[in-house]
Structure 1
Amino acid sequence: MSTNGISLRVKSIDTIRGLIMVIMALDHVRDYFHITAFSADPLDPSTTTPALFFTRWITHFCAPSFMLLSGISAYLSSQNKTTAETSSFLLKRGLWLIIVELTFMTFAFSFDVTFKTIFLAVLWALGTSMLVLGLFVRFFTPKAILISGLMLIFGHNLFDLVKATPGSGLDLFLGIFLKGAGMFVPRGDGGTIAFLYVILPWAGVMMSGYGLGVIYNRTFPEQKRRKLLLQSGLAAIVLFIVLRLVNVYGDQAPWTAQTESIRTFFSFMNASKYPPSLIFTLMTLGPVLILLALTENTNTKLTRFFTVYGKVPFFYFMLHFYLIHVLTMIAVLSSGYTWEQATAPELFFKFRPTDFGYNLGMVYAIWISIVLALYYPCKWFGDYRERNKKWWLSYL
Structure 2
Amino acid sequence: MMPHTVARMDSPAAASIPPARIASIDRLRGLVLVLMVLDHARTYLSDPSFDPLDLEHTTPGLFLTRWITHLCAPIFVWLAGMSAHRLSLQLDQNALSRFLLTRGLFLMVMELTVVYMAWTFTLPGTGSPVLGVIWAIGGSMVVLAGLVRLPLVLVGGIGLVMIVGHNLLDGIDPARLGALEAWWPILHEKGPTPMGKVLYPLVPWIGVMAVGYVFGGVFDLEPRQRRTVLVGFGCALLALFLLLRLSNGYGDPHPWPLQPTATFTLLSFLDASKYPPSLIFLLMTLGPASILLAYCDRTRLPLADPLATFGRVPLFFYITHLVIVRLLAGVIALSLGFDLALLPKDPVAAGWGFGLPVVYGAWIGIVVVLYPMCRWFAGVKARRRNRWLSYC
Please give the TM-score of this superposition, normalised by the length of structure 2: 0.90
Q: Tell me if structure 2 keeps the 8 A contact 1:328–1:351.
A: no
Q: Which residue does 2:12 correspond to in 1?
A: none
Distance apart, 1:334 and its partner CA: 2.3
Q: Which residue of 2 aligns with 1:120?
A: 131
Asked if 1:46 corresponds to 2:56, the answer is yes
**Residues 5 and 261 from structure 1, CA distance in 2 versus in 1: closer, same or farther, beyond 3 angstroms?**
farther
Does residue 191 of structure 2 align to residue 183 of structure 1? yes
Q: Which amino acid aligns with 1:244?
A: R
The alpha-carbon deviation at position 321 of structure 1 amounts to 0.6
Deviation string for 1:122-157 (max 9, x for gaps)?
Answer: 1110110101111111x3122221221111100100
Which residue in 1 is equivalent to 2:351? 355
Q: Which residue of structure 2 lines up, in the alignment, with residue 64 of structure 1? A: 74
- 2:144 maps to what in 1? 133
Aligned pair in 2 of structure 1 residues 88, 351: CA closer, same or farther (>3 Å)? farther
SS at match of 1:225: helix
Contact 2:39 2:66 in 1 (8 A): yes
**Aligned residue in 2 for 1:280:** 281
1:10 equivalent in structure 2: 22
Counterpart in 2 of 1:293? 294
Please say if 1:214 is aligned against 2:217. Answer: yes
Larger mean Cα displacement after TM superposition, 302-311 or 237-246: 302-311
Matches within 5 A, 1:164-179: 164-165=174-175, 168-178=178-188
Partner Cα distance (2:39, 2:152) in 1: 33
Q: Which moved more, 1:95-104 or 1:289-298?
A: 289-298
Q: CA deviation at 1:115?
A: 2.4
Deviations 1:19-40 (A, max 9, x none): 00000111111111112x2x11
Matched residue type, 1:274: Y
Report the alpha carbon displacement of residue 315 of structure 1 after superposing the two structures with TM: 0.9
Say if 1:9 and 1:216, in contact at 8 Å, map to a contact too: no
For each residue in 1:220-258, what CA deviation from the matched residue of structure 2 results, as whole angstroms up to 9, or x when unmatched? 333332222121111100000000000110011110001
Structure 1: which 5+ runs fail to align?
A: none
Alignment of 1:212-251 (within 5 A): 212-217=215-220, 220-251=221-252
Letter in structure 2 aligned against 1:184 = P
- Please point out which of 340, 343, 354 is paired with 2:341: 343
Are the equivalent residues in 2 in contact too, given 1:112–1:350 (CA < 8 A)? no
- Distance in 2 separating the partners of 1:67 and 1:224: 24
**Partners of 2:272 and 2:347 in 1: how far apart?**
31
**Structure 1 pair 350–330 and aligned structure 2 pair: CA distance change class (3 A):** farther
* 2:163 corresponds to 1:153: yes
Give the residue type in structure 1 aligned to 2:383.
R
- Deviation of the 1:78 alpha carbon: 1.9
Judged with a 3 Å threshold, the aligned counterparts in structure 2 of structure 1 residues 175 and 262 are, in CA distance, closer, same or farther, namely: same
Deviation at 1:175, TM superposition (A): 2.2
Q: Please provide the CA RMSD for this pair.
A: 2.4
Residue 164 of structure 1 and its aligned partner are, at CA, apart by 3.4
Q: Deviation per CA, 1:249-295, whole angstroms, max 9, x where unpaired?
A: 00111100011111111100001111100000000010111122233
Amino acid at match of 1:30: R
More divergent stretch after superposition (151-160 vs 104-113)? 104-113
What is the identity, as a one-letter code, of the residue corresponding to 1:224? Q
Shift, 1:351, TM fit? 8.2
Map residues 299-378 of structure 1 onto 2, 5 A cutoff: 299-338=300-339, 342-343=340-341, 349=345, 355-378=351-374
For 2:11, the equivalent position in structure 1 comes to none
Q: Which residue of 1 aligns with 2:206?
A: 203
2:218·2:226 contact (CA, 8 Å) conserved in 1? yes
Q: Secondary structure at the match of 2:256?
A: coil
Over 3 Å counting, the alpha-carbon distance change for 1:101 and 1:325 in structure 2 is: same
Tell me: CA distance 1:164–1:222, structure 2 relative to 1, closer, same or farther (3 Å): same
**CA distance 1:352–1:116, shift in 2 (3 Å):** farther
Q: Following the alignment from structure 1 to structure 2, what is the Cα–Cα distance between the partners of residues 350 and 97?
A: 29
Residue aligning to 2:4: none
* 8 A Cα contact 1:240 1:279, kept in partner: yes
- What is the CA distance between 1:296 and its match in structure 2? 1.3
Unaligned runs of 5+ in 2: 1-14
What amino acid is aligned across from residue 202 of structure 2 in structure 1? I
AA at the equivalent of 1:248:
G
Q: Is the Cα contact below 8 Å between 2:17 and 2:89 reproduced in 1?
A: no
Q: Report how far residue 173 of structure 1 moved.
A: 4.2
| Secondary structure at the counterpart of residue 17 of structure 1 | helix
Cα shift at 1:390: 2.8
CA contact (8 A) 2:21 2:83 kept: no
Q: Which residue of 1 aligns with 2:104?
A: 94
2:42 paired residue among 20, 30, 33: 30
> How much does 1:358 deviate?
1.4
- 1:95-134 Cα offsets, whole Å, 9 max, x none, are 1011110011112222233521211101110110101111
Answer yes or no: is the 8 Å Cα contact 1:46–1:258 preserved in 2. no
Contact (CA 8 Å) 1:34, 1:359: kept in 2 or not? yes
Q: Distance in 2 between matches of 1:8 and 1:268?
A: 39
Percent identity reads: 40
Structure 1, residues 184-222: CA drift from partner, whole Å, max 9, x if none? 23x5xxxx81111100211111111001112223xx333
TM-score, with normalisation over the residues of structure 1?
0.89
Q: Distance in 2 between matches of 1:4 and 1:48?
A: 54
Structure 1 residues 202 and 354 mapped into 2: Cα distance closer, same or farther (>3 Å)?
farther
How many residues get paired? 378
Partner residue of 2:117?
107
- The answer to whether the 8 A contact 1:107-1:115 is kept is no
Q: Counterparts of 2:222 and 2:46 in 1: how far apart (Å)?
A: 47
